[in-house]
């Protein structure tokens, strides 16, 4: 029996409560697993998504996440975009600095999320909101050698 992926297109998830944060984590983990991400890769991506979803809720006043599988040829990845219409980030350079926090946390949210994924972009304008996009790629397993080449 073959199992068709539930994640063939973009899934949009609201972020408006703590329960939504758990749903985002679950959906990102499921999509990553279906794309062949290893357990460590899944954990890194889910951790980044969790931090960014929490920022969307707490600092952005809520918003949404879009989870999009990236499948082109042999390479597979997952793009997750977090958007809000909150107050925006006044100083992006400062916000991306390790140890900086505007909410009393450890200050590893944005910079920590960036280190956990292969691609990270952020667009934020004061008074207009913030959009953060992360992309992680599933690392293909090395093929065992079958003989001399």
- Which percentage of the chain shows pLDDT scores above 90? 67
pLDDT number for residue 100? 61
Q: Dihedral of CA 55/60/62/65: which sign? A: negative
Binned at pLDDT 50, 70 and 90, residue 71 comes out as confident
> What is the DSSP code string of 108-134?
-HHHHHHHHSSEEEEEEETTTEEEEEE
pLDDT number for residue 21? 96
pTM of the model: 0.84
With contact defined as beta carbons under 8 Å apart, do 116 and 48 qualify? yes
What pLDDT, in 10s, does the model give residues 90-140? Answer: 888 888 876 666 655 544 579 999 999 999 999 999 999 999 999 999 965
Find all residues with CB under 8 Å of 20, minimum gap 6, and list them. Answer: 13, 14, 53, 57
């Amino acid at each position: 029996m073959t199992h068709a992926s539930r994640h063939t297109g973009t899934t949009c998830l609201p972020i408006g409560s703590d329960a939504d944060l758990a749903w985002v984590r679950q959906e990102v983990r499921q999509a990553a697993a279906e794309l062949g991400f290893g357990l460590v890769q899944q954990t890194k991506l889910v951790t980044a998504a969790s931090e960014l979803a929490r920022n969307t809720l707490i600092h952005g006043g809520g918003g949404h996440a879009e989870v999009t599988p990236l499948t082109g040829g042999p390479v597979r990845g997952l793009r997750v975009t977090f958007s809000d219409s909150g107050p925006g980030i006044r100083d992006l350079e400062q916000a991306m600095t390790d140890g900086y926090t505007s909410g009393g946390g450890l200050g590893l949210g944005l910079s920590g999320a960036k280190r956990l994924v292969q691609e990270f972009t952020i667009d934020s304008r004061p008074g207009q909101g913030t959009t953060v996009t992360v992309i992680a790629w599933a690392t293909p397993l090395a093929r065992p050698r079958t003989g001399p080449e």
